Amino acid sequence: MSKKLLVILLMMAVMLPLSAFAEGMKKADTIDELVKMFDDRKCMECHPQIAKEWKESFHAKSVTSSLNGMRNFFAIGVPTEWERELTKAEALKCLDCHVPEINYASEKLAVEIANMIIKAIDSKSKSEVKKITKELSKLRVGCISCHNIKATSIAKGLMGKPVKDAVYGVNGKESPAHLTIQTNALRTSLFCAQCHGKYVAADGEIIMCNTLSGSYYNGYVANGGGETCQDCHMKKGKRGHFFPGGHDLEIVKEGIGFNANILGVKHTVGKWIPTAIVDIAIDNKSGHRVPDG
């Protein structure tokens, strides 16, 4: 066997664990199958620092940290207000962002996950809640969510659907573990705005989960702001894949300036009323409105 062929075979062996994510593949029927298809433990072996940052991020708990809101949509919004059946298409209105891998779940599994989210809130049994929440914690925004599944979404006309097995990144650094495709899409604020802004579902329904991107483009960029989401939430302070946001007081304080001048006077001639005059300035230095919900 030639050395070249051996190297190719070895590369294929290394790439095998990542080879599951692709268009047209079999849909997962269980959470474990889905997790296995997008197993990013392999990514973490070679990128330990990124993995460490990500594990502390809200992306790493994007399902379990948002159970209440999703439960309300699945338990009240869809069946009661919209009078619709809870299907994968309805579940995707939350889960396409909270766990993009759900696109590769079977209809049955997607609905099962939505029902688990309802149970995680509604169940009276603590042990059941604990068990379901543990199972749901396997689902989150992981490496492949951004570096493949969502990587081409903002420019599908130009970039097409994500390439099977490829890892999209801004550096495009070649790796023996995977095919790397360089893209500037992941540098853009629009990439983050896919989910951190008004979300347009496949059927056209607009979900106002949060509206950060609106104020970013119309309030920040329109007034001369030049930094991207990644500039503040990743690059500054080497925050990397921790992506601190509203839950992190350090970045909250960084984004808000505050000054208060407190002056004591006695005013109104003849009556001399002791008075405090308080002047306050709150400076939103961030690239979007504060707060956003």
Residues that bind another protein (CB under 8 A): 69, 72-73, 76-77, 81-82, 93, 205-211, 215-216, 219-220, 223-225, 246-247, 249, 252-253, 256-260, 262, 264, 266, 271-293
Please identify, using beta-carbon distances, which residue of 28 and 212 lies nearer to another protein: 212
Strand partners of residue 91: none
Minimum Å gap between C-beta 124 and another protein is 22
Residue recorded with tokens 């790397």: 180
Strand partners of residue 105: 28
What are the tokens at 197?
Answer: 């802004």
Q: How far is CA 139 from the centre of its chain?
A: 12
Q: List all residues 6 or more positions away from 33 whose beta carbon is below 8 Å from its beta carbon.
A: 109
What are the tokens at 131?
Answer: 């068990």
The sign of the dihedral angle between the CA atoms of 84, 86, 88, 91 is positive
Minimum Å gap between C-beta 163 and another protein is 32
What are the tokens at 265?
Answer: 């006077």
Please identify, using beta-carbon distances, which residue of 93 and 150 lies nearer to another protein: 93
Please identify, using beta-carbon distances, which residue of 14 and 256 lies nearer to another protein: 256
Please identify, using beta-carbon distances, which residue of 157 and 224 lies nearer to another protein: 224
With contact defined as beta carbons under 8 Å apart, do 173 and 180 qualify?
Answer: yes
Please identify, using beta-carbon distances, which residue of 2 and 83 lies nearer to another protein: 83
SS (H, E, C) 12-42: HHHHHHHCCCCCCCCCECCHHHHHHHCCCHH
Please identify, using beta-carbon distances, which residue of 24 and 274 lies nearer to another protein: 274
